[in-house]
Structure formats: C-alpha cells, structure tokens
C-alpha cells in the first residue's frame, strides 16, 4: 500500500510551552487558519500540556476547529496512588483522541522504559484513544550505523511483547533524537528508509495487513518548507511537529502543505 492511500496525520506537540491562556489564543488562531478543505484531506492533532486540555477542548468545540485533541503522555494505570501522574480515562473523558507514548524526552529525562511504553499504549487503546508511539536513534547510534537495529528493538518491544492490541489503531512516529529541536531534519530518503523499516518490523508483530494500515509519521525539526517532500515518501504518513507547532501560522502552513498533496475524502 502506498503512503497516498493512508490518510496523513499532522500532530503538534507543544511540550511544556503555552499556559492555558496562550492555548486558548493559539487554538482560536488555528481555527481561523484551518478549514473544511484541510479536514477533508488530513487528520490534525494538537497536544497541549495537561493544564491546557480543558481550555483547548472548549475552544475547539465552540469554534468547530477541525483538529483532534491530543495529550503528550499518561500513566498506564486507570487510577491509584501515583502522585503527579494522569490516568488514561481522565484524558478520554476530556475528549482526547491521540496520546503520544514514549517520546524521547520522556525516555531520556524521566526514565520511561520500553516495557512502560508497551503497557501504556495498551492502556491508551483500552480507553478508545490512539497511541502515537515514538521511536528513534541517537546521533551516536546513527554514526555507528545502528539506526535500524535501534528501531527494530523499540518497535518490537512496543508492539510484540504481548497481545491486547487493536492493530489498526496505532501510529508510530519515527523521531531521530539528533533531529529533535536541533534544526536538523532527516533527508526525505533517510526518513523513507526508516519509516519503511518500522513498517516491516511492525508487520512481523501485528501482521502485514495491519502494518499496511498503520500510519508512520516523521518527526524532527519539521518546518512548512520540508513537509511536502517528507510526505511525498511512500511510507511517511504524516509529521509530528514540536517547535513549529507553537505558532498557529507555521503549524497551519504545515497542515496546508500536507493537505495539498493528499486526496480529498
């Protein structure tokens, strides 16, 4: 199956930026810039900090902003004595559709393990939301030629360790760590090779048919100018955007670039 037949997903990860007032302004601004034509061609998710979710959701509903609400992380348990954590059903009740799981910043700074990623993505699915599972190599691993080995290990640990998965409702984001927040974007050829590899490894875990349906995003210093070339790759089905998603104008430009190359449906 070619990339053109999977509906692109453009996701904006605000990380620890924008308080709830900035979130209201940014979401309202986005509502003025995105239209039905974008929604007919691509899915868009916005992932604000937890404290912004309710405000962002209210603006989205009031103004019919054509985006899905997203979260950046959650715990794998439904409730309990886990101070400072957020449970999947809390997100589902707020209308969250997509949850980023295993972002490299969670893995690096908060010690999130592959096992925890595997548990969390299943918990996210149990509550009707779609996980966006992040995988990617460090600069050192890339220099050693160990990119595919790293991706194989992360994808297998996430998808292959146990059952309990709805294979069709999985998104994987290829996010080379050396490209995140650095201004260095992978070439389209590198992104294609890595995303195709991820799909091939996923096929071994969830079956070829599900892997063919699974969307694989590229993330790492994506800008409006780099979007079209990345999305023209047959195995790149969307982009996960950090810095450039904070500004409604640049994020809308990325969505428009993605929409311009996608069929209407």
Residue 247: how many other CB atoms lie within 10 Å: 14
> Measured from the CB of residue 198, what is the shortest distance to ligand PEP in angstroms?
16
134/173 Cα distance (integer angstroms): 5
Site mask, ligand PEP, residues 190-209, x = CB under 6 A? --------------------
103 is catalytic: yes
> Measured from the CB of residue 237, what is the shortest distance to ligand PEP in angstroms?
15
Residue environment code for 92-108, b if the CB has 16+ CB neighbours within 10 A, otherwise e: beebbbbbbbbbbbbbe
- Give yes or no for residue 180 binding ligand PEP (CB under 6 A): yes
- Give yes or no for residue 242 binding ligand PEP (CB under 6 A): yes
Q: How many chain residues interact with ligand PEP (CB under 6 A)?
A: 14
Angle at CA 217, nearest 5°, toward 258 and 233?
65
Question: Torsion angle, CA of 220/12/201/180, rounded to 10 degrees?
Answer: 20
140 is catalytic: no
> Measured from the CB of residue 183, what is the shortest distance to ligand PEP in angstroms?
8
* Structure-block tokens of residue 100: 């980023």
> Measured from the CB of residue 146, what is the shortest distance to ligand PEP in angstroms?
21
From 105, 137, 141, 175, the catalytic residue: 175
Question: Which segment (56-64, 110-118, 136-144, 236-244) binds ligand PEP by CB under 6 A?
Answer: 236-244
* Structure-block tokens of residue 70: 């997203």
11/96 Cα distance (integer angstroms): 13
The residue among 154, 83, 65 whose CA lies nearest residue 117 is 154
Site mask, ligand PEP, residues 149-178, x = CB under 6 A? --------------------------x---
Residues that bind ligand PEP (CB under 6 A): 13, 15, 175, 180-181, 219-222, 240-244
Catalytic residue list: 103, 175
């Amino acid at each position: 199956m070619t990339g053109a037949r999977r509906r692109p997903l453009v996701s904006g990860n605000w990380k620890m930026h924008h308080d709830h007032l900035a979130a209201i302004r940014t979401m309202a601004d986005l509502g003025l810039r995105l239209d039905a034509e974008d929604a007919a061609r691509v899915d868009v998710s916005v992932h604000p900090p937890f404290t912004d979710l309710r405000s962002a959701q209210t603006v989205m509903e009031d103004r019919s902003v054509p985006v899905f609400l997203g979260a950046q992380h959650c715990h794998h348990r439904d409730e309990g004595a886990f101070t400072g954590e957020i449970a999947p059903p809390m997100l589902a009740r707020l209308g969250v559709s997509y949850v980023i799981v295993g972002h490299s910043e969670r893995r690096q700074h908060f010690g999130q393990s592959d096992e925890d990623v595997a548990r969390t993505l299943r918990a996210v699915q149990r509550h009707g939301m779609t996980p966006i599972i992040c995988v990617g190599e460090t600069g050192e691993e890339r220099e050693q030629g160990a990119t595919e080995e790293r991706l194989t290990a992360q994808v297998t640990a996430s998808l292959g360790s146990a059952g309990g998965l709805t294979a069709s409702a999985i998104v994987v984001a290829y996010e080379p760590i050396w490209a995140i927040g650095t201004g260095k974007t992978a070439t389209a050829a590198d992104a294609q090779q890595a995303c195709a590899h991820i799909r091939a490894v996923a096929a071994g875990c969830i079956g070829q048919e599900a892997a063919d349906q699974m969307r694989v995003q590229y993330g790492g210093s994506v800008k409006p100018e780099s979007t079209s070339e990345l999305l023209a790759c047959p195995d790149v089905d969307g982009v996960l955007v950090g810095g450039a998603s904070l500004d409604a104008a640049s994020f809308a430009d990325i969505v428009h670039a993605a929409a311009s190359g996608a069929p209407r449906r």
